[in-house]
Homo-oligomer: A and B are copies of this chain.
Amino acid sequence: DFLHALDEVKPLFGVAEEELGKCIRGGILHFSSYIENILDEGRLYINQVRKPDSTPLLSVVLHGPPGSGKTALAAKMAMDSDFPFIKLLSPEDMVGFNEMQKIQQLDRTFRDAYKSPLSVIVIDNIELLVDWVPIGPRFSNSVLVALKVLLGKQPPKDRRLLIFATTTERSVLQQLDLYPRFDAEIAVPNVNSQQELGHILQQSGAFDDRAIHQTLGDIQEMTGSQEVGVGIKKILTGIETAKQDEDMAGRFARVMGQAIAARGYE
């Protein structure tokens, strides 16, 4: 069953459209100018790798708080590259794998990528891939080392590879000594201001202007501050929860209040 799973590597030069599409189900809302900047940055690295006389191996890490949209943005960039080989490496597809099986999966994906002239590999959720748990901390040493080695391994002649990785917070990267292995980094921010939050509520279509005004006011009152600091993912889910409540604006304010208060524990 697991052995079988190891065989499910996508056909060479096929593109993992569907897998990646699933990651962007909530779309990409342009709630701040940062979002466009991030996508621009992605295009730059894609061009760098595409050029035959330039860098044959480039690795970029997207880091940011839980639910800030790292996976969605990495998936978007990868899909926009139009490279013939695109592959998403995610812990979700490795539930029940032991360390050796994970490493083999990693190794196999990189070998497959080396066969295409131009490849993108998205390594999602590095900290879960290496079984990172902050208590201790604990993590899978061998998967981590395999990752480090693969991040630095030159592709064969005439092969070019771009790696996007995602992870929560740069501090984990640094503790794992992965930080200097990446050629570049992209910080993915939370939704931080009431203004950004307002844009999202507007684009959600569920709130009219009055309701937006009211709920933002409630939140500000509840938290005593204009700062938000919550990931886009939790906000989009919160909107759906609020829709179930008769007092939609009030419920949304309460959900956000809780999320903002909980930040200290993350």
Contact of A22 with B154 in the complex, beta carbons under 8 Å: yes
Residues of B with C-beta under 8 A to A229: none
Q: Could you tell me the distance between the alpha carbons of A234 and B92 in the complex, rounded to whole angstroms?
A: 32
- Checking B95, B137, B150 against A103 with a beta-carbon cut-off of 8 angstroms, the contacting residue is B95
Copies per assembly: 6
Interface of A is mostly: helix
- Checking B25, B134, B177, B255 against A133 with a beta-carbon cut-off of 8 angstroms, the contacting residue is B177
Segment with Cβ contacts to B, from A29-37, A139-147, A219-227: A139-147
| Interface residue total, chain A, C-beta cutoff 8 A | 66
Contact of A133 with B48 in the complex, beta carbons under 8 Å: no
25 contacting pairs across A/B (C-beta < 8 A): A25-B154, A45-B241, A48-B240, A48-B241, A51-B244, A54-B240, A66-B181, A91-B145, A92-B149, A95-B107, A95-B149, A96-B104, A96-B107, A128-B148, A128-B149, A133-B141, A133-B177, A135-B175, A138-B141, A170-B265, A174-B265, A179-B262, A180-B265, A184-B241, A185-B258
